[in-house]
Structure 1
Amino acid sequence: MNRFQKPSSAKPAAYNLIVGARFRELRQLVPALRFKMSVMIVMGILTGLSEMVGITLLVSLVFLLGQQGPVSGSAIAWLPAFFGGVDLSLSKPVLIGILIGSILFRIFLGCANSLIASTVNHRISDRIRDRLYAKVLTIPFQRFQDYERSDLINVIATESYAVSSAHASLVRLGVNLGTIVIFGIGMLVMAWPIALLGLAFGFIHNFALGFFAGAYRRLGVSALAAVEALTQLSWTTLQTLKAVKSFGLETRHQQLFETLSRDVGQTWRRSDRMGAATSLLSETLTFAVILTIILSSEFLPVDFKAALSATILLYRLQPHIKEFDSQILRLYEMEASLQNVLALLSEKDDIKQASRGEPISRLAEAIVFHNVSFAYERT
């Protein structure tokens, strides 16, 4: 075979099933995946929680500073209801202190999460590259002959990064989902009609972007094929450069390279266009739901302050909903590369490599061959 086994073109049964499929594949490739993902997801969710608290208290502070005369009791009227009916009496300095603390806590968690994610992703890439190179050295030579050399180079040097990228996407999915749940609970407590509108927006957003899943999947396969073709031509040219120059094929190879290079560029441009289309769709849906809230504000049984805070939370929630579906589409796009990595790592080891005999501790005498001959078989 000239290329690795590609995934079938059949459409998955459900849009979000791709998450479970990628998680099962990553568990085969990355040891202790569940623990690493759990730690990073918890840190990301705590970041979202601190952001929600900061937004809520910021709105409270704005209304507090806008009041005339002395302020007694809670900062604003609906704050005790938000905290489950507990009678809280927050002075202005305490409110400002909690607000600053939540903001600093969010900044610290965000920085720590970025550093941990970078370290984990680079470590995953390093280990996958090592495993792929070791597999090339241990598979039977007959099977090695079935692979294109350029394809092996491409999967080791380039497609191995798809494993860490898929891991990062799954972590972000968990963070986004946790943040969506936390923000949703806060909106539900503050203004349940707005929370219901946000829930409807989330379902519509997920359903609409689901139509792009097949296109992203096909784009990932075509982009991979284009890169492999370009790598194969480059490898062939470097291996046979003397022959290319001897027969005056420089112009021919240059034209082939430019054609394949344009194909690669075209696939990335298509990816950028689809990304712009999905982003436009997400922004349009966000504007539509916020416009709906504004137009129906007179009819909603919600206090203005609570409605304002819930609307701000909904606006801040939109990037998490957008990223949630975008990461799923990225998993579709990376499917072909992950299948290539799995295909190579699933090759059986050479029997000679797998069977390990007794190591020779020392050699007392020389090794001598008697009556050994060699001849080519007559055909």
Structure 2
Amino acid sequence: MSSPETENDSEDGAARSPWAEVVALTGLFRERVWAGPFMVALGLGAALADTLGVGLAVMLLFALLGQTQRIAEGGGILARIHQAIESVVGSDVSTVAAVFFVFILLSAMLVYAYQVMTAVMMNHVAQRMRDLVHHQYVTLSYRYLQPREQGLLLHILATETWTVSDAFYHLARVGVNVCAVLVFGAGLFFLSWIVGITAFACAIAVFALLRMLSVPVRRLGRETLAANQVLAERMLVSLHGMRTLRVFAQETYLLRVFGAASSRVRRLAIRAEWIKALIGPLGEVGSLGALIVIALVAGRSGVDVPTTIAAVLLLFRLQPHLREIETSRLALAGMNASLRSVRETLIGEKPLAVEGSKTFAGMAEALRFEGVTFSHDPRRRPSLDAVSFTIRKGETTLLAGPSGSGKTTILNLILRLYDPDGGRITVDGIDFHEYTRASWLSSVAIAGQDIELIEGTLAQNLKIGARDADMAALRHVCDLVEILDDIEALPDGFDTRIGPAGQNFSGGQRQRIGLARALLRAPDFLILDEAMSAIEPDREMRIRERIAEVMRNGTILVVSHRADAAVFADRTIAIAQGRIVDSAGA
């Protein structure tokens, strides 16, 4: 699937940490660079309010018990806060309770604002990623994208873009939780430096224990990405090959291979969840051990009861933040392979479609291939080897040759899907790559075997190349190719759904719909690639005559391996094994 270039890129990317992957992707969000710090600031504000709320809760408890003097006797930061509150609001229990409630309300409001902001930012990130990946799929060179697995491309667009959103969320949560840990840790040190140092040492021990889980999670992340890509490919096969697989009675095989792919994704997901589920129990055990150690140290160091209670409460509030830091870190480790696949899709040098700057105004004389060479794979013989021929304006030219001779490659070059490896293609003596793709293709239309009908209605398919066409124009071109009666016989007429790859219609009907779509574009240059192979001979003759009349001032290129196709052509170009072997009718 991958070219050597992308394989090397993947190897380089494998050495990156998930943090580096996220940082690399943040460059795509320069216009919203303020959002991350703003979210962290909201979280920091909530942590500050929470810390003060813990102190007020202790003071409220002792006030309710009528033992506020013990706070003053203990000294330290609680005594100073208590003294400051009493100097402002007095010692009334209801007043202290009101102040405590205000801080709880403030903390809740900050948490709500943070959650709303998080939801907004996550959806912005997901949309931005989807749009950027889709933009790459649309604008990158067709030659670059063609060999890629469709399952992988679909999985990146549909799933991994959300993974990036989740990664940014976890990164923001790490920032918020680090700030919360710093605030709570500072609170512990202000309460008692002995308690603070003890809590810090315990936190490091618990964090080191949880950190050991990251290696298996990262490995499972890579395996899960590969398994999801296989599953996406199986989905595409099931949907796109619906008719073919049934025709060959492959339902049992299809169910078996899909079930195997789906089962592997399930097993990997469960294994990952097993490891992630250890965070909670290990964190709880670590927290309990830390509380016991802090209580013993506080008791032996002569720390007063109110301070010890406040420290224990702060530690209880601190531990979830430490656990969430590790949860986010493990989540990011599991996302590493997914983040790398998105980064490789969006960042780095990739071939774009060659785009000119001139506006094409129409062909006056001829389109010429001048020594054009093209190779799909440098290890094999060229698909086209120094090919030269001329397609003159106003004529019907037949491009004839057996399968694999290079006919489709020539069409892809004319349609600017490929660019020549050597030689050039000119229109009236000017390299047609000097023209913008849109202006050149606005004069070209194609109907044939490799130009698929897409999911949607008949009208939507017909108007792909002529978005502003009205119903009268649709009916006219459909009448020309004798498909109008078939459409009007349908219950929903032009609003009938095409179905996957047009499977709601017969082969001949699909070809006539494709012909109508091409004619609706009113092209100057019409390409017919085996466009009537499934149409009855008498009907084909009538349609050819009508197309010849419509295109009497235009140019037609007919691609066929049928010998009788030469009857309708002014000239014939024969190709075999990538070389021109005959050019008759000059």
Matched residues in 1 for 2:79 and 2:365: separation?
88
Q: Deviations over 1:292-351 (max 9, x none)?
A: 233444312211110110011001100000001111111111111111111111352424
> What residue ranges of structure 2 are gaps of 5+ in the alignment?
367-390, 400-572, 578-586
Q: Report the counterpart of residue 41 of structure 1 in structure 2.
A: 40
Q: What's the counterpart of residue 540 of structure 2?
A: none
Is the contact between residue 7 and residue 336 of structure 1 (CA under 8 Å) also seen in structure 2? no
1:118 to 2:119 alignment:
yes
- 1:192 deviation in Å? 2.0
After superposition, the Cα gap between the structure-2 partners of 1:356 and 1:11, relative to the gap in structure 1 and judged at 3 Å, is closer
CA distance in 1, matches of 2:117, 2:306: 38
Distance 2:200 2:182 in 1: 10
Deviation (angstroms), 1:181: 0.6
- Measure the CA separation in 2 of the matches of 1:41 and 1:376: 68
| In structure 2, distance between residues paired with 1:81 and 1:315 | 19
| Shift in Å, 1:189 | 1.1
Matches within 5 A, 1:11-26: 18=17, 20-26=19-25
SS of aligned partner of 2:576: coil
Letter aligned with residue 282 of structure 2: L
Structure with a larger share of its residues in helix = 1
Distance 1:81 1:230, change over 3 A: closer
Question: What SS class does the counterpart of residue 43 from structure 2 fall into?
Answer: helix
Structure 1 residues 19, 130: CA separation in 2 closer, same or farther (over 3 Å shift)? closer
Letter in 1 for 2:352: D
Aligned partners of 2:199 and 2:290 also within 8 Å: yes
Pick closer, same or farther for the CA change 1:225–1:293 going to 2, 3 Å: same
Structural mapping, 1:1-379, within 5 Å = 1=1, 18=17, 20-32=19-31, 34-67=33-66, 76-78=72-74, 81-82=77-78, 87-88=83-84, 89=86, 90-92=90-92, 93-346=94-347, 348-352=350-354, 355-359=355-359, 367-370=363-366, 371-372=391-392, 373=397, 374=399, 375=573, 377-379=575-577
Structure 2: distance between partners of 1:284 and 1:27: 36
Bigger shift: residues 31-40 or 316-325: 31-40
- AA aligned opposite 2:77: A
Larger RCO, structure (CA 8 Å, separation 6 or more) = 1
- Root mean square deviation of aligned Cα: 2.7
Residues 319 and 332 of structure 1, relative CA distance in 2, 3 Å threshold: same
Q: Of Structure 1 and Structure 2, which has the larger fraction of its residues in strand?
A: 2
Equivalent AA in structure 2 for residue 24 of structure 1: V
- The one-character-per-residue Cα deviations of 1:87-128 (angstroms, maximum 9, x if unpaired) are 532422442222111100011111111111101110111111
**Partner AA of 1:276 in structure 2:** A
| Equivalent in the alignment of 2:538 | none
Task: Return 5+ residue gaps in structure 1 as ranges.
Answer: none
CA displacement at 1:8 relative to structure 2: 5.1
CA displacement at 1:198 relative to structure 2: 1.4
Distance 1:234 1:10 in 2: 28
Distance 1:286 1:151, change over 3 A: same
Letter in 2 for 1:46: G
Q: Give the direction of change, closer, same or farther, for the CA distance of 1:82–1:377 in structure 2 (3 Å limit).
A: farther
TM superposition shift of 1:204:
1.2
Q: In structure 1, what is the Cα distance between the partners aligned to 2:238 and 2:227? A: 17
State how far apart, in whole Å, the 1-side matches of 2:285 and 2:76 are.
35
Give the TM-score taking structure 2 as reference length.
0.58
Alpha-carbon distance in structure 2 between the residues aligned to 1:182 and 1:295: 24
What amino acid sits opposite 1:233 in the alignment?
Answer: R
Shift of residue 213, structure 1, vs aligned partner: 1.4
CA contact (8 A) 1:140 1:350 kept: yes
Provide Cα deviations, 1:125-159, integer angstroms capped at 9, x if missing partner: 11110111110111111111221011111100000
Q: Assess if the C-alpha contact under 8 Å between 1:22 and 1:166 holds in 2.
A: no
TM-score (norm 1): 0.88
AA matched with 1:81? I
2: distance between equivalents of 1:23 and 1:240? 37
Sort the Cα spacing of 1:282 and 1:81 in 2 relative to 1 into closer, same or farther, 3 A: closer
**Aligned equivalents of 1:62, 1:246: Cα separation in 2:** 77
* Structure with the greater alpha carbon radius of gyration: 2
Residues 339 and 81 of structure 1: CA distance in aligned 2, closer, same or farther (over 3 Å):
closer
CA distance in 1, matches of 2:72, 2:60: 8
After superposition, the Cα gap between the structure-2 partners of 1:195 and 1:282, relative to the gap in structure 1 and judged at 3 Å, is same
CA–CA distance in structure 2, aligned partners of residues 169 and 348 of structure 1: 30
Cα distance in 2 for residues equivalent to 1:207 and 1:246:
58
Separation of aligned partners in 2, 1:280 and 1:290 = 15
Q: 2:28 corresponds to which letter in structure 1?
A: L
